[in-house]
A and B are shown apart, each in its own frame.
Chain A
């Protein structure tokens, strides 16, 4: 999920080029016909080559979980052809982060063992939450009110998941990053843009990137 940059005062619009590169989709923009990788968000051919799209912190999750955590959400209306999502091999997924040019891939089969993963990329302390029943991984900066936090006690209440920070004992919604009770109530962990991809594909696109392993 990316912000669409302005070109001559109007946002670029993207289409499907029909080309594949490194096993992934190539998009094109209708305004300049540059080609873009949908996984890295980088223009790889055409007039805008080298330009990079700003990634937005979208979450790949299940509808039930999303709706419970965002009761006011709307959902794209289905028109025409639709199908059920092919259930692929979730254990081969990776949550991919890129911070200050540094790529870090967190494989789901590793996150399964450490559902609250405290990691660092580009010198920043991060938290990746993994909700196993929904195969959902979300990344945050673990900083709030000027302090660095560490988390434990991931618990479930129906479709809502909570965690606590050790420093203040505040309770946080693990899927939205909002503190719901305790001294930090009302604070928000800054969400981090991330890509969900296949590990093999991620490695192709970021050959020099680090792959995280649980302790």
Chain B
């Protein structure tokens, strides 16, 4: 449902050029449940080349009570603002040796 609300907020802001005409098969149902097409593929662009700032100096972009998704893996800790994620939905990232997909 968070996604639906974020989607509704985005509908007004996505530029027409955002899509790259990715064509996907669209099943009518999956496991008996309906599939709805809300937007073309890639109208919401995943982040493929994420960049990071050090937490200690991130005060200018982060509020203390901001929702984040945090992951610590192999001694590396990363956080992703959910507000920022709602504009992209997915980050294709890598923590050390592990390729990860950040979704919420």
Q: Which residues of A contact B (CB under 8 A)?
A: 1-4, 11-28, 30, 33, 35, 38, 44-46, 53, 56-64, 66-67, 70-86, 88, 176, 196, 198, 200-201, 204
Do B24 and A17 touch (CB < 8 A)? yes
Pairs across A and B, CB under 8 Å, 11 listed:
A3-B98, A14-B101, A16-B45, A17-B24, A19-B37, A38-B103, A59-B69, A60-B70, A63-B81, A66-B79, A74-B53
Residue of A nearest to B60 (CB): A78
Which 8 pairs of residues, A with B, have the shortest CB-CB distance? A64-B64, A11-B99, A18-B39, A70-B77, A74-B52, A73-B77, A4-B99, A73-B55
Total B residues in contact with A, Cβ cutoff 8 Å: 75
Do A21 and B100 touch (CB < 8 A)? no
A79 to chain B, nearest CB (A): 8
Do B91 and A27 touch (CB < 8 A)? no
Q: Which residues of B contact A (CB under 8 A)?
A: 1-6, 9, 13, 22, 24-27, 30-31, 33-48, 50-56, 58, 61-73, 77-84, 86-92, 94, 98-104
Q: Which residues of chain B are near A71, meaning CB under 8 Å?
A: 55-56
- Given contact pairs A45-B27, A86-B5, A78 touches B72 in the complex (Cβ within 8 A): no
- Given contact pairs A1-B101, A75-B81, A58 touches B46 in the complex (Cβ within 8 A): no
Among A19, A24, A76, A200, the one with the most B-chain Cβ atoms within 10 Å of its Cβ is A76
- Given contact pairs A15-B22, A22-B33, A45-B30, A66 touches B83 in the complex (Cβ within 8 A): no
B27 to chain A, nearest CB (A): 5
- Given contact pairs A58-B71, A67-B55, A85-B67, A73 touches B4 in the complex (Cβ within 8 A): no
Do B69 and A60 touch (CB < 8 A)? yes
Do A85 and B86 touch (CB < 8 A)? yes
CA distance A62 to B55 in the complex (A): 13
Do A198 and B1 touch (CB < 8 A)? yes
Do A15 and B38 touch (CB < 8 A)? no
Q: Which residues of chain A are near B4, meaning CB under 8 Å?
A: 20, 23
Candidates B36, B71, B100; contact of A59 at CB < 8 Å: B71
Given contacts A26-B35, A59-B71, A75-B80, 5 further A-B contacts (CB under 8 A): A4-B101, A16-B42, A20-B35, A75-B52, A82-B83
Q: Which residues of chain A are near B25, meaning CB under 8 Å?
A: 33, 35, 45-46
B101 to chain A, nearest CB (A): 5
Do B39 and A75 touch (CB < 8 A)? no
Do A78 and B84 touch (CB < 8 A)? yes
